[in-house]
Chain A
Amino acid sequence: MSDQRIFTRYRADEIKAEFQNVEVKKFKSNAMKRKNALRKIIANLTMGNLNEMSYLFPEIINYWKIEDDIEVRRICHEYIRKLGPSKPKNANDALPYILKDLDNRNPALQIMAIKTLLMVPSPDYVDEAFRFVSGIINRRSSSSDVLKTSIFALTQLDDINHDRALPLLDSLRDIISGDHQINSVKVAALNTLYTIHEKNLSLPNLNLTVDASYDLLTILPKLNEWDKALLLESLICVCVPQTHNDAYDLIDMVEPQLQHVNTYVALNALKFIIYITNYVDHISDNLSKKLSSSIIALLNKPPELQFLVLRNVILLLLSRESLILNLDVSYFFVEYNDPIYIKDTKLECLYLLANKDNLHNILEELEQYATDIDIQMSRKAIRAIGNLAVKLDENSADECVNTLLNLLEFGVDYVVEEIISVFRNILRKYQDQYKSQISTLVSYTDSIHESDSKNAMIWIITNYADILPEYLEYFRVFSSHILEETLEVQFSILNSSVKFFARNISKETEALCIEILKCCTEEIDNPDLRDRAFMYWRLLSLLQSPKSEINVEVIKDIVDGELPLIELNTKLDPAILEELELNIGSIASIYLKPVSQIFKQIKTKQLPSSSVLNQNRDSINIVSNENLIHEQKRSQTDRFSDINHYSEGRSIPSKPSRRNTIMDDYDKPAETVNQLKGKMRSSNSSSSLLSRKPTKLMRKLTIKKPF
C-alpha cells in the first residue's frame, strides 16, 4: 500500500486521468485500482485539499450509480459529508442517491445514509432526515441498529428544530417503558430523552418512576459497557427514590458495577451511588469500604484516567466531611515518574486528607517532595506544608514549622524563597509562637530574588522589627534597589518605610521614609504607587501642622493597624458542591467549576426533591451492619424533624464568586494549581516558541553521530 502513496496531494485531473485509465483497460484488478483512486480522494479531503477535490463530483456520482461495493459507497458518503457543507449545490444533486441508500435493505447502508443526512446542514437534508427518523421511531419495526442510530440522531435533530422533534419524545417514552426486545435500544432512547430534556430550558426535568427505574436497572447486567454507563448516567436526577428503602434497593442494584473494569462504568456507578446517598439516612460501612476500594482500584489506570479520578477524589473530599470514603493516604503518595499534573493533584489530595493522626506521615512525604528534582514540585510541596500549618491546630503547626526549618537548612535558593513566602502566612496565624525563629529567617535575606518572597520577607522584617536590632540593615537590602523591583515589592517597601517611621520617629527612620517617598513620587512613574506615596506624604505632613488633630497614634492606627487572623477555608458553597457532585466524571469536575457559572443558559443540576432528601450531606451516619437495626429505629423518629427544616435547607443562595475570595492557593480550583487556565495567550505570541519546545532537544539528542 505504501508504494501507492495515497497520502500525498493530488490535483483533480491526475485522479481523473487515473479513473479514465482504469476504465479503458478492462483488467480484473480494475476494481482494486478504482478503489485506490477513490481512496486518494478521501486522503486529500482529510488533508484539507477540498477545493481541488470538488471537481471530482461527477466521477463520484458516476460510481455511486454503478457500484454496489460497500466500501465505494462509504467513500461516496464520506465525500458528501466532507464537501456538502461548503458546496450545497453538489450536495443537493447527490440527495437522490442518498435517499436511495436510505431505502436500501442493508442496514449498514441505511445507517450510513442517515449519518450523511445529518452531517450536511441544508434544509432539504434536514427535512429528509426528520421524515426518515420519525418514520423509523414510530414504526419501530426495522432493524434494531437502524432504530438505535435514528434515536441517537434525534438528539442532533433536536438541536436543529426543537418543535419538530418534540412529538417524537412520546414515542421514545413508549420504547423505554415498553417491552422492546433489544436492551441497547432502550438505553439509547432513555439517553436521548435525557439529553433533550437537559438541553432545553422549556422542558421540565425528566422524571421516571422508581418502578420504571427498577425495570431499567434489572437489564444492567446484560448491557455492554458503554450502555451500562449511559444508563447509569441518564438515571441520575431522573429516578428519585421516595422512601429510604427505595434508595437502599437502588444502591444494591448498582453496587456490583463498581468493580467494572471500564473506568467510565465504575465512575458512573460511583456517581449514581453518591447521588442516591442523598436520600438515605445511613450507609453501611460495607458500602463505604466498597466505594473506597473502587476508587483506589481506579487509580491504577493510564495517567489521564488517574488524573480524572484524583480530581474527583478532591471533589468528594471537599464535599463529604462525614467520611463516606475511607482512603489511606499512602495511595496518594507521589511516584517519581508520575506526570506533573498527577503529582499536583496528588499533592492536593494529601493536603485535604491531612489530619492530626496522619500528619506525621504526610509531612515526611512532603519533605521528600520538597527536595524533589523538579522545582515546581518542590515549591508546591513547601507551600502545602505551610498551608497545613495554617489549616490544622497549633500542635500540628509546630511539626510543620520544624519540617520547614529543616528544609531551610539546605539553603537552596528556590526552597528558601518558598519557605519565606509560606512563613508569612504561618506568622499571621500564630503571631507570637515562632518569634525565636525570626532571626534565622531574616538571615536568608540575601538569597531571595523572587518578588513574592521579597514581599514576604519585607513583611516579616517589618512586623518583627521590635525583636530585630538591625532591622533597618535588612530592610536596606531591598529599599536600596527599589527602582529595579517589581511593583508589588515597591508597594511593600513604601508601606514598610512609613510603618517604621510611624512606630519609631528618629532621624534614621525619617531619612529612610523621605528617601523612599521621594523616589516613589519622583522617579517611579506608576500612578498607583505615586498616589499612595502622596497619600502617605500628606498624612505625615499633617503631623507638623499644629491645627490638625492628627497625632502619631492616629497615624500608627492608620498605617500599622491590626491585621485580621487568616484562616484557610476549604469549604465550597454547598449549592456548588451539590451540583459538582452530580457532575462527577465530567469536565466540570476536572476544573472543579460548576457548569452554571460558565453557561447561564444550561440547566443547573439540582437534587430533585423527595420526602427523604437529606438536607445536610454530612448528617449521614456510617454504621456497621450489627448496629443497623438499632440505627433504623432511631432514625425514624429523626425524620419528622428533618421534614420541618426542609424548606429552609433547600434555599441556600448560590454565590459562585464567594469561593475565590475565601480560598487561598491550595484550595483554589484546578486551574490555578494545574495551570490549565490563563496560560492561553492570543495566537500572535507564538512566534518565539520555536526554540523553546522542550521535546525538541530530545529529538536532537537522538539524531547524532555514534559515540
Chain B
Amino acid sequence: MVSGVYFCDASGKPILSRRYRDDIPLSAIDKFSQILLEHEEESSVVPPCLLYQGIHYLFIQHSDIYVVALTTSYQTNIAQIFMFLHQLVSVLGDYLKSVEEESIRDNFVIIYELLDEMMDYGIPQITETKMLKQYITQKSFKLIKAAKKKRNAARPPVALTNSVSWRQEGIKYKKNEAYLDIIESINMLMNQQGQVLRSEIIGEVKVKSRLSGMPDLKLGINDKGIFSKYLENEEDFSKPVQIINDDSTTNGKKSNIELEDLKFHQCVRLSKFENEKIITFIPPDGEFELMNYRLTTPIKPLIWCDINIQVHSKSRIEIHCRAKAQIKKKSIANNVEILIPVPDDADTPTFKYSHGSIKWLPEKNAILWKLRSFAGGKEYSMTAQLGLPSVDGIEPPKVKRPVQIKFQIPYFTTSGIQVRYLKINEPKLQYKSFPWVRYITQSGDDYTIR
C-alpha cells in the first residue's frame, strides 16, 4: 500500500504531495533528491526502486518531473504502484493536456482532488478519466507555451546525397570498428586552504573510425527528457524564473554552471541535433574530433595535496606533502605526478616516502613525486629535506611558484557525460560492427595549487 504520492521536479525536489497513510516521516521525500544524486553518480539511469532508511522510493519519470510513491513494506505490490503512477500521469494528461512542472503547479487544487478520488488509504480506486469527470468537473489551466521559434527554417537540410565531401566512397575494412574517446581535461586553481579558485572542464569526443562504405552513425548521450526541456526554457525568457523555495537558490545546482562552447565536426547534422537532440553523422575515415565542449563548474579537487613547507634559513628546507585521491573508491588515478618547487639554491635532498618514487630535478628547481597508480580514497604522504647554503644575503625568491599536478583517471568523466549507444548503420553493406568507448579524465595544462 502506498503511503504517499509525490510530484517532484527534475532534481527530485517535491512540488506537490499527498500523504495517504501516517507511517512515514514528513521529511522522507526531502531525501529523494539526495538519493537520486547518489545513484546518478554511479550510473546515469537510476533503477525505479530505491531503498533508503527503510523507506522504498518507487518512481516513474515523465517529461521533467518524477512521480514518486513511498512505501515502507516489502510486501507492497509494486505492480499496483507502478501501474497506478502511470495511470495517474495519463489521467492528469487528460485533465491538464501536458503534464510538467509548470502545469502541476498551476493546477495543484485539481490534482489534490484527483489524488483524493483516485486513491484511498493507499489503495487505488478509480483511474478512468471518464468516471472521474463525474466527480471532478473543474477546469484546468492550460499551459500556453511560446511557439518554438524556427531558427533553422532558413538553413537547407543537409542533403543525404552521395557527395559527402569528407569521405570517399569504396572504403573497405576487414573488421569494422569505431572507437570513441571521451577525454575531459580539468583545469583548476586552488589555494593552500583547499579552496577552488577557478575550475573548468574541457571535453572532447574523439572518434577513430575504421568502417567500410558510407556508414551512418547515431550517438546517444545520457538523458533526452532533460535535454529537450531546457531547450524550451531557453527560448522562453519572458517567463519569470520560479523560485521553489529559498534553499534551491542557495543550492543552485542548475543555475551556476555555464557551458561556454559546444562545437561539432562538420560531419554532424546540426539541424537534426537542433530539432531532435540526436547526434547523427557520416564519419570521415580515421581519426577526428567529433565534438568539444567547455564547462565552467565548481568541482571538488580530484587529486588534492596538502603541502607544508618549512624554511629553516641558512640550513635547510623541509617539505611535507600529503596527497589524497578524492575520487570514487573504484576509480584509479594513473601516472600521478606532483611537481613541488624548491628554492633554486637547494641541494643534497633526502626523501622519506611510502609509495611511488621521488626525484630531484635541479634543472627545474623542483622535486617530482611520481605515483604509478593512486586508488580512490587513498592518502599517501612524503617528506623531503633539502640543504640550503649558509651564505647570507640572498633574499627569498620573489615569485612563489605553484605546485603542479598531473594525472589520468580512466573510465571516469567529471561532468558525468556518458554514451548510451552508438548505432552504426551502413545501408548497403549491412556488416557487423564494433563500437568501443573509452572515458578518461585527466589534468589539463593548468592544474595547480597556489
| A residues with CB within 8 A of B | 1-2, 6-9, 39, 42-43, 46-48, 71, 74-75, 78, 108, 112, 115, 118-119, 121, 148-149, 152-153, 155-156, 159, 191, 195, 198, 224-226, 229-230, 233, 262-264, 267-268, 302-305, 307-308, 336-337, 339-341, 371-376, 410, 412-414, 449-450, 481, 483-484, 486, 523, 583, 585-591, 593, 595, 598-599, 602, 674-677, 679-681, 683, 685-704, 706-707
Contacts and interface: CB of A to CB of B under 8 A. Distances in A.
Contacts of B48: 303-304, 307, 341
B227 A701 contact: yes
A42 B112 contact: yes
A585 B81 CA distance: 10
Interface string B404-436: 000000110011111111110000000000111
B172 interface: no
Interface stretch (B37-45, B280-288, B316-324, B395-403): B37-45
B108 A43 contact: yes
Contacts of A118: 22, 121
Given A481-B372, A681-B38, A585 B416 contact: no
A305 B79 contact: yes
B86 A373 contact: no
27 contacts: A74-B109, A74-B113, A152-B120, A191-B123, A224-B128, A226-B125, A226-B126, A268-B79, A337-B220, A374-B419, A374-B420, A375-B437, A450-B332, A523-B354, A585-B78, A587-B49, A591-B51, A598-B74, A676-B50, A688-B300, A690-B299, A694-B418, A695-B44, A698-B227, A698-B417, A700-B259, A701-B227
Q: Is the interface of A mostly helix, strand, loop or mixed?
A: helix
Given A593-B74, A696-B415, A699-B226, 10 more contacts: A225-B127, A307-B49, A308-B79, A587-B71, A674-B47, A680-B51, A694-B222, A702-B227, A702-B234, A704-B259
B79 A701 contact: no
Interface stretch (B157-165, B242-250, B306-314, B342-350): B242-250
A462 to B, nearest CB: 22
A268 B422 CA distance: 38
Nearest to A683: B34
A690 B255 CA distance: 12
Q: Is the interface of B mostly helix, strand, loop or mixed?
A: mixed
A481 B258 CA distance: 42
Contact of A159 (B14, B23, B71, B243): B23
A492 B50 CA distance: 36
Given A46-B108, A681-B38, A698 B226 contact: yes
A694 B234 contact: no
B298 A226 contact: no
B416 A371 contact: no
B38 A689 contact: yes
Given A224-B126, A593-B74, A676-B49, A373 B226 contact: no
Nearest to B356: A484
A587 to B, nearest CB: 5
A93 to B, nearest CB: 21
A598 B22 CA distance: 22
B355 A229 contact: no
B193 interface: no
B130 interface: no
A308 B411 CA distance: 30
B319 to A, nearest CB: 21
Contacts of A450: 332
A587 B75 contact: yes
A587 B40 CA distance: 21
B381 interface: no
B8 interface: no
Nearest to A603: B75
A698 B223 contact: yes
Interface string B15-30: 1110101110000000
A108 B106 CA distance: 24
B298 A690 contact: yes
A159 B20 CA distance: 14
A697 B230 CA distance: 11
Contacts of A307: 47-49
Size bracket, chain B contacts: 35 or more
Given A78-B112, A449-B332, A587-B49, A337 B420 contact: yes
A43 B242 CA distance: 14
Given A42-B109, A336-B423, A700 B226 contact: no
The 8 closest A-B pairs by CB, nearest first: A694-B416, A700-B259, A694-B44, A688-B300, A341-B47, A304-B48, A1-B141, A226-B124
Of B31, B60, B121, chain A has the most CB atoms within 10 Å of the CB of: B121
Interface in B139-184: 141, 151, 180
A211 B431 CA distance: 63
B286 to A, nearest CB: 19
A133 B73 CA distance: 25
A427 B295 CA distance: 47
B82 interface: yes
Nearest to B271: A707
Nearest to A409: B175
B375 interface: yes
Contact of A149 (B74, B120, B228, B434): B120
A74 B112 contact: yes
Given A676-B50, A699-B230, A689 B41 contact: yes
A701 B125 contact: no
A698 B166 CA distance: 28
